[in-house]
Chains A and B, each alone.
Chain A
Amino acid sequence: MTGVTTVESAVTALAGTPPLTAPPLAVQEAASWEPVLPGLIVLLPLLGFAINGFLALRAAAVSSAAVRSGSEWDPFAGAATPATHRLPTLVGPGVMLIAFVLALLNFIGMPDDLQEPVVRSYWSWIATGDLRIEAALQLDQLSAVMMLVVTGVGFLIHVFSVGYMKNDVGYPRYFSYLNLFVFFMLVLVMGSGYATMFVGWEGVGLCSYLLIGYWFSDREKSDAGKKAFIVNRIGDVGFLLAMFLIYQAFGTFDFGEVFAGAEGGLATGGATVTAITLLLMLGAAGKSAQVPLHVWLPDAMAGPTPVSALIHAATMVTAGVYMVARSSVLYALAPVSQAIVAGVGVLTALIAATIAIQQYDIKKVLAYSTVSQLGFMFLAAGIGAFTAAIFHLVTHAFFKALLFLGAGAVIHSMHHAAHHAERHLDEQDMRNMGGLRKYMPLTCALMWIATLAIAGIWPFAGFFSKDEIIWYTAAWAGAESNPFGALYAVYWGVALITALMTAFYMTRLMIMTFHGANRTGAAGAAHLHEAPPVMTLPLIALAALSVFGGWINVPEALQASFAGLFGALPMSEWLHHWLEPVTHAAAEIQVAGFGEAAYSAPLGGGEVTWALVSTVAAALTVAVSARLLGTRKYVAAAADSGPRAGLGRVLHDKWYFDEAYDAVIVRPLLRLSRWCWRFIDDVIIDGFVNTTAQFARLAGWIMSLFQTGQVNMYAFVLTVGVLLVLGTTVFLR
C-alpha cells in the first residue's frame, strides 16, 4: 500500500472542488457539546500509514534491489538501529499517543447528560436519488469507550512492537499496516451508520489479511491471511444483505434514524427485524470468530504476536460484539435472534474452551481462549446485557492483550534460544518451554495476573465482567415472561462450566510455560532472557488495567458485599450508567417483552451467592490444576506427538472443523469450478460455437463443389433445377 494520498486530498484531486457541503444536521446537535477534533483522531493513524507506507516503499526499493542482485540486504549492518527504523519508531506509536490523548479529551469532556450522539459529517459519500450516505463520524458513550480501548491498548501494543519487531527488515511496512488498521478500526467504531461502519469493517479485515500474512514469503502464513479474508467475507455477505433490508425498511443506513424508526415502526419479533438481526449476526460471527466461522482465528496466529494481541484479541475481533451492542434496539425487538446469538455465543465459548485444553502452541491456546471469551461476549449481547458485553470486551482487551504480549515476550526469548539450540526448536510449542519463570520473572508475574483475571477470580478485572454475564443469563432465564427461559437456563449452566474450563486451560498454559523443569535444552536455555523495558512497560500498564479495570462496573448487589469490599471499590455500576443513553431503549423494549429479570438463579441463590460460588470454584480450579499439572512430567515436543486417541485427540485436532470444511465445501467447490470450465465452457458452449462454425464451413465447402468452372456442368445443374421447379409446381398442386 503506498502512501497514496490522504482521503481529503484524494477527494479534492478527483472532484476538482473542495469536498461537498456538510449537511446542517451536525451543526444543530453540536449545540450541546463540541467534541475535540474527532476527524483528527481518525486522520492521525491514516497519516501515520501514509508516512510509514512511503518509508516502507523506500526501504523495499533498497531491499528488492539486493534481492535482484542475488545478495541479501541487511539493514542492521553497521548500526544497531538501522536508519529505516528511526522514523517509523517515532511516527507509528506517536500518532497513536496523540490519538489516544484526543480520545481521552473527548471522553472526559463528554457531558453525562448527552442523550443523542454528536454527529460530524465531512462529505457526502454516496448520494443518488433518495439514498444519502454521509462520510460522518459520531461520538457517543459507546463509541467513546471503544475509541479509548482502540487507541489506548493500540498505543501500548505499538510501543511493544518497537521492541518486538526491532530486528525485522520490514519494520516500516509493519507500522504502516498497523496504523492503517487503527484508522479502519476507528472508522468502524465511530462511523455514524451501517454503511460507514462497513467501510471500517472490511478495512480492518484487509489489514488483518495483510498482517497475518505479514511474512508473506512463508506460504503457511499467507494461506492463513487468505483464509481469514475469505471467511470474513462470508460474514460480510450477511452484513451487506442486512444493510439492504435496513435500507428497504428505513430508507437510510444512519444509526439514529434506523433505531428511531425501529422503535416506533417495527413490531417485536417481526420477520423484518428478525431477518436483519440474524444477517447482522452472520457478519458479526465472521468478524468475531463465532462457531462455525471461527476457523480463521487460530490460523491468524501466523501474524506477528503484537498483531495477534491488537487485532485478534483486543480490538478487531470484538467488532462483532460492538456491532450487536450498537444495534441493541434491533436485537431487543427480535427475541428469537437474541436467543440464537446467545446460543451461538455459548456454544462457541464451550467448543473453543475444549479445544484450548489440548493445544500445545502457546498462541493457539490464547487464540481459542479468545474465541471462547468472544463467545461470552456474544452470550451477553444475546441475552440483552449489552453493557455486560461491552464490559467484558473492555476487560478482555486488557488481560488478553497482556497475555498475548506476554506470550510475545516468551516467543521473543525462545526465538533467541532457538538460534542457539542444538536441535530444531518450535519456539511457540509449550512443550519446549517450562521453567521460564527463572529467566523471565517479570513476564511470568504479569501473565499470572492476566491469568487470574481471565479465570474470573476476585478482584481482578475478569471476575466482574464475566460474573456479570453469567449472572444476567441466570436472571433473564428466570424473567417473568421469557419464552426462552429454559434455554437461557441451559446457557447459564454451560457458561458456568466453560468459566471453570477457562481457569483450567490458562493454568495449564502458565504451568507448562513458566513452571516445572526447563525443556529448552541447555544450549538454548542459556540465551533465554527477560524482555527489554520497551516491551515490559506496556505489559505493566496492561497488568494494572487487568487488576483495576473491572472496578469500573461493580454491581450494586456486590458493592455491599465482599466483592465490593463493602463499598470500598469505587464506581458502582459506572459503565452501566455511562452507557445508559445508548442502551436504555433496548432495555425498555426487553423489559416490556420479557418482564422483570429474576433475582435468583435457576438453581436458587442470588447474585452475591453465585459470585462467591464462581470465584471460589475458579480459584479452586486454578489451585488444584496447578498442583496436578505441576507434578506432571512433560517431554519436549520432539519426543511427544500429543494425545493419540479418544476425546483428547479430537480436541487436539480441533473437532475437525477444517477437515470437514475442506471435504464438504472447499474441495467440492474446486471440482465444480473445474467442471464448469472444462465441461460447460469448453465442451458445451464452445462445442456449440465451433460446431456452428464448422457447419458453416462445411456448407461453404459443399457449395464450392459446384463452382467447377465448367459451363456444361452449370448448364446441367441449371436444367435439373428448372425441371425440378417445374415438376413440383405441376405435380404438387
Chain B
Amino acid sequence: MTDLLASLRYEDWILHALIWLPLVGMAHVVVSSPERAKNLAFAWSSIVFVLSLGLWWGYEPGGGGFMLESSTPWIESWGVSYALGVDGISVFMVMLTTFTSAIAILGSFEYVKTRRKAFYALMLLLETGVLGVFLATDIFLFYVFFELTLVPMYFIVGIWGGERRIYAAVKFFLYTAVGSLLMLVAILYMYFGGGAGSFGYEAFLNADLSLREQLWLFAAFALAFGIKVPVFPLHTWLPDAHVEAPTPGSVILAAVLLKMGTYGFMRFLLPFFPGAAQHPTVVAVMLVLGVVGIIYAAWVAAVQPDAKKLVAYTSVAHMGFVVIGIFALTLNGLQGGMVVMISHGISTGALFLLLGMMYERRHTRLIEDFGGLGRAAPLFATAFVITALASIGLPGTSGFVGEFLALLGTFETHAVAAIVAATGVVFAAYYMLPMVQRVLFNRLDNPENRKFPDLSRREVVILAPMVALMIGIGVHPTPILERMEPSVQLVLERVEGAGATLGTASAGPSDGGPPGYVGDAGPGAQVPVPATAARED
C-alpha cells in the first residue's frame, strides 16, 4: 500500500486535494440539475473519503510534528501563507470528517426535498471548511476556515431546519461569532504584540509571552473553542441548533464541528500558552467545567421529551470527558480525549442518523410518540441499541476506550475530578436506557408505529460501517492510539517543557504588553510597556 501511494506521489497532492476537491464537487453540483445533486455530492464526498484513507499509510508517526507539509506564500506582506500539514492529532479528525461527510450526505437523501442544489453545495463547502480547519498550519488560514464553517452551517440550519430554525441559526451564529471574534483579537495580538511576526504555527509557538499575556490570550482562545465544544455553561446554542438542524446538519455538527473546539484546545491552546494551561486556577476551572458538563448535561438529557434534544445534551456530556482528559495534562488523558472525539463522532453521528430515520417515518421527534419499535423494525432496533451502548461506553465499543483513558489520565493528576466524573457512567445509563426503552421496547400500541418500516438497503449501508467502527475501535484501538501518540506526546512536551522555562523566558522587559496589562509572572515581573511603543522599534 505504501509503495502504491508513493508511486502516485500521494503525499505531494493529498492535502490540497482534500481541501479543493469538495469545492470542485460544489461547483459540479451547482451547474448540475437538482435531481442529480445528491448523487453528485455523495460521489464527490466519497472520492474525498477514499482518498483520505491513504493517510492511514501515508502518515507515518515519527517525531509527532507535522507531516506532508507544504507552504505557499499567500499574503506575503503580512506573513500569511497557504500552509498545510497533518499530524497524529489532525489525521484522525480529517478521516472522521471525510467519513461523516459522505455518510451525512447519503443520510440526507430522503430528508432534503427542497433547494437540493444549494443544500448539497453547502454541505461540500462545509466539508472544505472543516478540513481546512484541521489541515491549516498557518493561523490566519486556520481562522479563515474556522469562520468559513459558520456560513454553510448557518444556512443549513436556517433554510432546511425545523420550525424555530431562524432562532436556532441566529443563536448558533452569534454565539460562535462572539467567541471567534475574541480569538481574532487574540491572534492579532500575538502577531503584533507577541512578536510572532508571522502567522506560521511555529512562529506562534515561539511567541514570547508573559504569563499575564498568556492568561488573557488563553481566555480569548478558550472562549472561542469552548463555545464550539461546547463547554458548560456555553452550551445552550447546541440543543437548539441540533433540534432545528436537518439530519445531515446535526450529524456534521455533532461529529466534526464540535471537534473543532477540542481540536483547538489541543492544537493551539495547550502549546501556545503552556504557562496558562498549567496554571492551577486555569486547570481547576477547566476541569470543573468539564466535570459539571458531564453530569449536568446528563441530568438535563434525561428529562428531555424530544429525542434529538436528548442526544444533543449527551454531546455536551461526552465532550466534558474530552475537556477533562485534555486539561489533566497526561498522556492517557489526552489520548482518551482523542478517542472520545472519534468515538463520539461516530456514535452520536449514528444516533442522529437513526433519529432522522425515525423523523422521516413518523414526522415527530417526541419520545412519547414511539414505543415497541423493536417489534416493527428489528434491524433498526438492533442498530439503535448497539449505537446507544457505544454512546454510553460499554466495554468492547469505542466509547469505553475513550472514556476509560480520559478518566484514567485525569485520575493520575486530579483524582477528585476523575471520581466525580466517573459517576457520569451511571448517569449515561440514566439518560440513555429510558430513551431506548421508550422508543424500542414497551407495547407497540400506536398504530402508526406498527407500520414503521424497517431499515432500507441505503440505510443499512449508512449504519453498517458506523457500527463496525464502533465495535472495531472498541476491540482494537491500539493502531489508532499508536498513531496519535507521538503527536499527543509532543503537545504534552511543549506544555511541560515551555512551562518549566516560562519564568526565565518572560523575565526580560523586552517584550510588549497590551496597554494597561501589567505582567506579573512571579519573580520575573515585567515592566509595563505600551504595545504601540513595542511595535515602533
A interface list, Cβ under 8 A from B = 1-2, 4-5, 7, 10-11, 13-17, 19-20, 57, 60-61, 63-64, 67-68, 70, 123-129, 131, 135, 198-199, 201-203, 206, 209, 213, 216-219, 222-223, 226, 229-230, 233-234, 236-237, 240-241, 243-245, 247-248, 669-670, 672-674, 676-677, 680-681, 685-686, 689, 693
Contacts and interface: CB of A to CB of B under 8 A. Distances in A.
Nearest to A11: B476
Ranked 8 nearest A-B pairs via Cβ: A60-B378, A14-B472, A216-B441, A222-B441, A673-B299, A244-B411, A199-B395, A11-B476
Nearest to A693: B174
Contact of A126 (B302, B425, B451, B477): B477
Contacts of B451: 68
B473 A681 contact: no
A248 B407 CA distance: 12
B303 A673 contact: yes
Contacts of B383: 2
15 contacts: A5-B471, A17-B479, A64-B375, A64-B454, A67-B450, A68-B376, A126-B401, A126-B404, A129-B332, A131-B332, A217-B442, A219-B442, A233-B429, A236-B426, A672-B299
A54 to B, nearest CB: 11
A676 B303 CA distance: 10
Contact of B481 (A128, A245, A693): A128
Given A128-B481, A198-B395, A674-B303, A216 B412 contact: no
A230 B429 contact: yes
Given A57-B379, A68-B452, A229-B429, 5 more contacts: A19-B476, A64-B375, A128-B482, A216-B442, A222-B437
Contact of A2 (B171, B376, B382, B401): B382
Contacts of A5: 468, 471
Contacts of B433: 209, 226, 229-230
A226 B56 CA distance: 40
Most buried by A among B401, B408, B467: B408
Contacts of B175: 689
A680 B58 CA distance: 48
B422 interface: yes
B296 A237 contact: no
B296 A689 contact: no
Interface string B447-482: 000111110000000000001110111011111011
Contacts of A669: 299, 430
The winner among B236, B237, B372, B482 for most chain A CB atoms within 10 A is: B236
Most B CB within 10 A of own CB, among A19, A68, A199, A223: A68
Contacts of B56: 16
Contacts of B335: 128-129
A247 B404 CA distance: 12
B468 A11 contact: no
A124 to B, nearest CB: 5
Interface residues of B, number: 79
Contacts of B377: 64
Nearest to B469: A14
Contact of A236 (B425, B430, B452): B425
Interface in B361-380: 372, 374-379
A414 to B, nearest CB: 24
A417 to B, nearest CB: 26
A206 B389 contact: yes
Given A126-B405, A685-B236, A226 B296 contact: no
Nearest to B436: A226
A237 B423 contact: yes
A586 to B, nearest CB: 27
B515 interface: no
Contact of A217 (B372, B405, B408): B372
B288 interface: no
A199 B404 CA distance: 12
A60 B440 CA distance: 14
A20 B175 CA distance: 46
A685 B433 CA distance: 28
Contacts of B441: 213, 216-217, 219, 222
Contact of A222 (B236, B430, B442): B442
Contacts of B73: none
B332 A248 contact: no
Contact of B296 (A60, A248, A676, A686): A676
B522 interface: no
Contacts of A693: 170-171, 174
B394 A202 contact: yes
A57 B380 CA distance: 11
Interface in B390-434: 394-396, 400-401, 404-405, 407-408, 411-412, 415, 418-419, 422-423, 425-426, 429-430, 433-434
A16 B483 CA distance: 14
Contacts of B302: 670, 673
B395 A240 contact: no
A11 B376 contact: no
Nearest to B380: A64
A67 B444 contact: yes
Contacts of B303: 670, 673-674, 677
A506 B471 CA distance: 45
B443 A244 contact: no
B326 interface: no
A247 B408 contact: yes
Contact of A223 (B437, B444, B473): B437
Interface string B26-54: 00000000000000000000000000000
B468 A216 contact: no
B385 interface: yes
B386 interface: yes
Contact of A61 (B332, B423, B443, B454): B454
A201 B404 CA distance: 15
A203 B468 contact: no
Nearest to B395: A199
A221 B537 CA distance: 78
| Chain A CB within 10 Å, residue with most, of B412, B429, B437 | B429
A168 B402 CA distance: 39
B233 interface: yes
A2 B467 contact: yes
Nearest to A20: B478
A679 to B, nearest CB: 11
B341 to A, nearest CB: 15
Contacts of A14: 468-469, 472-473, 475-476, 479
A125 B476 contact: yes
Nearest to B452: A68
Contacts of A247: 408, 411
B431 to A, nearest CB: 9
Contacts of B485: 128-129
B295 to A, nearest CB: 10
